[in-house]
Every structure is written in C-alpha cells, then in structure tokens.
Amino acid sequence: MIADGLATTKERCASNNVRINMAKKHRPKNQIAPENAVEPAPTPQRPALDIESLRNFLDNIRSFAGPALILESSSVNRLYHYTDLPGLNGIVSNNDLWLTHLRFSNDDEEMTHGQNIVAELLKERPKKPERGQLSYLERLEEILDEPVTDGVYVCCFCARDNLLSQWRGYAANGTGVSIELNHQAFDFLTGPDCMKHGLLRLWKVFYKEEQQREIVAKAIEFAWKHQQDLTIEKRAQNAADAIQFFIPTFKNRDFEEENEWRLIFTPQPNAAVQPQFRTARNMLVPYYSLQKLGWGPTQPLPIKGLCIGPSTHKALNAQSAQLLLKQRNYTNVPVSVSKIPFRG
C-alpha cells in the first residue's frame, strides 16, 4: 500500500534537484562543499496501489486457487464482535465500527507471522526458471521490502458466540459483550467493496501454515502465468498488492479456536476520507470509521443480538444494555447472558 500523494520518480528527482540548488544558494561563501559530497538518495517507496487491479486480481485468483483455499463470507452465517462495555456504548451510540491499522493491533506477532511466511517462500527459486521469471521474483521481493506509510485496516469478528477465550482476550476478561452482526449487510452501508474510498472485503483468517504458503504461492504464480500481457514490473506490483492484502488473514495455528473473520479495508491513494486517530496502549493508533466510509446518511448497524459476558454484574449489564439499545432505536435485538461459570 502507498501513502497518499506519493511522488513519481521524476517528481522526486526534481524535488531533490531543488533541494541541492537551494543548499548551494544558501551555503556561506567561505564554506566549500566536500569534493565527493553526495546528497542522500530518497528512501524507496512501494509503487502506488492500483485498487482496480487488486479487486480484479482477488476475484480471479479465487477461481484460480480453488474454493477450498480462498473462502469468503458466503460460507458463514453468523459473526460476533467481542468488546468491552465502553466499546459497546460507542458502537451502539454512534452506529459505528472501527477498522484499525494492522500494525497497531493487539498482537504484535500478527504482522510478522505473515511477513515471515512470505519471506521464506520467496527464498525458493524455480529449478528451471522461465525467461524473465527470476527478474519477476527479484522485483517482487524488492517491492515487498520497500516501506509503506499506509497499510491495511481491519475489524475482527469470530464465527463462534460465547467462547471463553474470546471473553478473556477481547471482552475485558469476561466483563464485556459479544455483538452478533449480519455481515451481509455491510455492503448496504458502504456500497459494494466500498469502491468510493478503496477496497473493503470480509475474509476468512487462515491458521494452517501450509495453507498460508499455498495462498502466497498462488498469488505469485497467478501474476506470472495469467497476466503475461503486462510488464514484469506491473505483474510484480499486482502480486505484491495481493500478498499485502492476504497477510492480515494469516495467524499462528495456536489461535485456530477463534475461527476469526476480518473486515479488511485497503484505502485508495488520495481518497477523500482519511484515517482518524485514537490513543491506546500508549500509542497513537490510526483507524477508519465504517460510517465515514459509507455512501449515504448514517445508518444503524446490522446488529442481530447481544450476549453479556460471564461477569459478576451480568444481570445488571443486561438490563442497561437493553435500555441502551432501545434508546438508540435498535428494536427487537435480543439480549442474552453467558452461562459460562467464569468470573473474571
């Protein structure tokens, strides 16, 4: 992914020349520049993201890789978002969900896990490479190594309700709630794919390393074999963008019980809607508001039910949650209470 307003190579060179000339202009007369002085080269940046190419790539690789490999939201009926009580209040009161930059997620290992899978796979080279294939792989590796100032933003869901590990890890040690949502209604909030501002997709998280490796391998193979009308540079960019999209769907196998799904947003370069910021865990965290990504007036979230965590005050919390839902016009939303014998 690429930062908004990324300059082209020509523009960067022109900008560097201006800085060099300005430095010469303001240098004191008695100061002589070192004979071999060289202006530092600008840090390489990843080529600008092509959202439309990424969208087409994801649609095509789905059939290329096979339905058992790439699973989208049609294979799950219910999704649950675990959160604490302040989170519930904000979600219901503002009719909103936040998509947080992946690098600022609760689990620091998440990003590095996917990156390590990709790095290991790219070390492998075909024994009998086709013409230009090594150049393609080398360029792909270079692009993935280049820093990005923007990235992907995620909102996490679980396919299982009333799961103890989720209560402990994401709902304030059981004192929070689980919100059931109709994920198929997200398109009504943002329009299909959130095309106005970028690319928004709900995708399954993969836990088996062999499956993760196969997804990356298929992305690399697809760009090489099925986009031969494009240059090596463009094919490498497309593969890199797809891999960057898939990395948030890779997690360590130890978390498989979560059965997680992620709403993944890739912002369009120079999009009208920019990320907002909040403070969490002593960090300034960028995020996108789902409502601000919407294509019309603010709408209620597709909340289908609410489960109160197994806390000491679960009965009182159920009563206050019902009042909150009613006040915010979420009618006919059932509120249940977890019966797990756990007191966090």
pLDDT per residue as tens digits for the range 224-267: 999 999 999 999 999 999 999 999 999 999 999 999 999 999 99
Within 10 angstroms of residue 79's Cβ, the number of other Cβ atoms is 25
For the stretch 147-167, pLDDT in tens is 776 789 999 999 999 999 999
Q: What is the pLDDT of residue 270?
A: 84
pLDDT in tens, 9-50: 344 444 444 333 434 444 444 555 455 555 555 556 677 788
d(CA 141, CA 126): 15
| Percent of the chain residues past pLDDT 70, beyond the cut | 82
Q: What is the DSSP code (8-state) at residue 250? A: B
- Containing 203, the helix (H) or strand (E) segment is strand 198-204
Element (H, E) at 159: none
Sign of CA dihedral 104, 110, 111, 112: positive
- Give bridge partners of residue 179 from the DSSP assignment: 81, 306
- pLDDT tier, 312 (very low <50, low <70, confident <90, very high otherwise): very high
CA pair distance 277, 66, nearest whole angstrom = 38
The amino acid that residue 322 corresponds to is: Q
- Proportion of the chain in helix, strand, coil states, percent, rounded to 5: 45, 15, 40
pLDDT in tens, 108-150: 677 789 999 999 999 999 999 999 999 999 999 999 998 776 7
- Range among 66-70, 77-81, 240-244, 305-309 rated most confident: 305-309
